[in-house]
C-alpha cells in the first residue's frame, strides 16, 4: 500500500509574558493512498463522450429540421425535438429506483427519437440526397442509443420486497407533505372566516351607529290636563308600534325617562307624616301634564285656594299647613348640591325621627336616585316648566 504526506493544521496554546493565546500550527501526516476507482472513471469518460456526440446530434438535427421548416423561427421549433428528448433522459435518471416510472420514460424516449429521425430523413429527401437523410438520422440514433446504454448502468434495480419498502417510505413522506398542505389550507380558511366575522360585526356596528345618529327623535303628543294618568298611559302604550321597545319606554308615563313622567304622590298617615309602608305610599298618579311634570320642590305650606263663587256648592275646605314630604325634601337637598345618599338619609332620619328605620333609608335612597336622574335630564335637555 502506498502512502502520501499531507499538511494539516491544528490549534495549540502559545504563551508569551504570561499571556496565553490559541494559535494555528501546521504539521505533516502520512495517509494511505486509496486505489483508483476505474469504474467511476470509465463511466465519467463515457458520459463525456456521449455528451459530445449528443451536442453534435443536437446541432445537426436542429439544422436539418430548421431548414425543413424554412429557417427563421423554424430553427427554434427544431430545437424542441432534442430538448424534449434531453428532458426525458433526466426524468429517466430521477426514476432510477422506480421501475414503473422508468419504463414510461423509456417508451417516451423511443417515440421522441423516432420523430426526430423521421424529420431528419425527410429533410434529406427534400434536399435530393437519400444518403444525407439516412446518415443524418443515424447521428441522432447513435447518440441517443448511447445514452440509453449509460442509463442501464445508472439505473438501480431493486427486489420486490425492497421496492415495496421504498414505496411505503415514499408514501409516508408524501402523506406528511399532503397533511402539511391541508393544514395550511385549513388555517388559511379559518383565518379568512375569522376576518369575515370581524368585518360583519364592524359593519353591523357602523350601521347601528348610523341609524342611531340619523333616526328622528320620538316626540310625545300633548295630552289635555283633564285626562287621567290611566288613560294617558293606555294611549301612550297602544300608540307605540309593536316590537318597538325603545318607543314603548319613551312613551311609558311610568318611566322616569319619559317627558310625561310624574312622580307618585306620597300618601300621609293621620298625623301628616309619610306612611311607614313604602308601597302603601304610592297612589294613583295625578293628571299628566302636557309637556313635563314640575320637578321643583313643593312649598313648605300649601297656599290657600281661591274663594269659591257664591254659585259653587263644592267649596274646598280650608287646608292646614303640612310638613314637607320625603320626596320633596330629597329633591330640595339634591338641588342644593347634596348628592351623597347616606348623608341625606342621616339628615332626614333625624328630621323625620326615623333614624333606625331601614324602610325609610331605602325610600330615601330611591328618591335620591330619582332626583339625580331628573337633574341629569334637566341638564341635558333643559328644564321644562
pLDDT digits over 335-364, tens only? 888 778 888 888 887 777 777 777 888 888
- Of 63, 97, 104, 107, residue with least CA distance to 82: 63
**What does the pLDDT average to over 69-94?**
85
Q: Does residue 125 surpass a pLDDT of 50?
A: yes
Q: What is the C-alpha separation between 372 and 256, in angstroms, rounded?
A: 11
Instruction: Classify residue 284 by burial, with Cβ atoms within 10 Å: 0-12, 13-18, 19+.
Output: exposed
Which has the minimum average pLDDT: 66-75, 91-100, 221-230, 268-277? 221-230
The mean per-residue pLDDT over the stretch 292-319 comes to 50
C-alpha cell read off for 79: 430545437
Instruction: Give the pLDDT of residue 188.
Output: 94
The per-residue pLDDT for range 256-270, each reduced to its tens digit, is 555 555 555 555 556
Among 53-62, 186-195, 297-306, the range of highest mean pLDDT: 186-195
Q: Return mean pLDDT, the chain.
A: 75
Stretch 281-297: mean pLDDT, rounded? Answer: 44
pLDDT of residue 186: 95
Distance, CA of 238 to CA of 217 (rounded, Å): 19
> Which H or E run includes 379?
helix 358-381
Query: Can you tell me the mean pLDDT for 279-291?
Result: 42
Tell me what the mean pLDDT of segment 366-374 comes to: 84
CB 278 within 8 A of CB 359: yes
Amino acid at each position: 500500500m502506498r502512502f502520501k504526506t499531507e499538511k494539516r493544521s491544528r490549534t495549540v496554546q502559545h504563551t508569551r509574558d504570561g499571556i496565553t493565546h490559541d494559535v494555528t500550527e501546521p504539521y505533516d501526516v502520512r495517509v494511505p493512498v486509496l486505489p483508483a476507482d476505474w469504474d467511476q472513471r470509465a463511466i465519467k469518460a463515457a458520459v463525456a463522450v456521449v455528451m459530445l456526440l449528443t451536442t453534435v446530434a443536437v446541432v445537426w438535427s436542429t439544422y436539418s429540421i430548421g431548414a425543413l421548416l424554412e429557417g427563421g423561427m423554424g430553427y427554434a421549433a427544431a430545437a424542441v425535438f432534442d430538448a424534449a428528448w434531453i428532458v426525458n433522459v433526466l426524468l429517466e435518471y430521477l426514476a432510477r429506483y422506480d421501475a414503473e416510472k422508468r419504463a414510461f420514460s423509456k417508451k417516451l424516449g423511443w417515440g421522441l427519437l423516432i420523430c426526430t429521425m423521421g424529420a431528419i430523413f425527410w429533410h434529406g429527401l427534400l434536399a435530393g440526397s437519400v444518403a444525407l437523410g439516412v446518415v443524418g438520422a443515424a447521428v441522432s440514433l447513435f447518440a441517443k442509443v448511447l445514452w440509453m446504454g449509460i442509463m442501464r448502468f445508472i439505473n438501480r434495480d431493486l427486489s420486490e420486497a425492497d421496492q415495496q419498502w421504498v414505496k411505503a417510505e415514499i408514501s409516508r413522506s408524501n402523506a406528511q407533505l399532503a397533511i402539511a398542505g391541508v393544514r395550511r389550507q385549513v388555517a388559511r380558511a379559518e383565518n379568512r372566516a375569522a376576518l369575515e366575522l370581524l368585518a360583519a360585526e364592524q359593519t353591523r356596528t357602523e350601521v347601528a351607529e348610523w341609524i342611531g345618529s340619523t333616526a328622528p327623535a320620538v316626540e310625545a303628543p300633548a295630552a289635555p290636563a283633564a285626562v287621567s294618568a290611566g288613560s294617558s298611559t293606555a294611549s301612550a302604550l297602544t300608540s307605540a308600534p309593536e316590537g318597538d321597545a325603545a318607543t314603548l319606554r319613551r312613551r311609558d308615563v311610568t318611566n322616569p325617562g319619559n317627558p310625561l313622567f310624574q312622580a307618585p304622590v306620597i300618601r300621609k298617615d293621620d298625623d301628616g307624616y309619610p306612611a311607614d309602608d313604602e308601597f302603601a305610599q304610592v297612589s294613583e298618579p295625578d293628571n299628566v301634564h302636557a309637556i313635563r311634570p314640575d320637578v321643583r320642590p313643593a312649598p313648605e305650606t300649601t297656599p290657600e285656594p281661591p274663594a269659591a263663587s257664591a254659585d259653587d256648592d263644592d267649596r274646598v275646605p280650608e287646608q292646614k299647613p303640612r310638613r314637607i314630604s320625603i320626596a320633596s325634601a330629597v329633591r330640595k337637598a339634591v338641588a342644593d348640591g347634596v348628592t351623597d345618599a347616606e348623608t341625606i338619609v342621616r339628615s332626614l332620619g333625624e328630621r323625620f325621627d326615623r333614624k333606625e328605620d331601614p324602610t325609610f333609608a331605602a325610600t330615601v335612597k330611591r328618591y335620591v336616585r330619582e332626583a339625580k336622574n331628573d337633574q341629569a335630564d334637566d341638564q341635558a335637555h333643559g328644564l321644562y316648566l
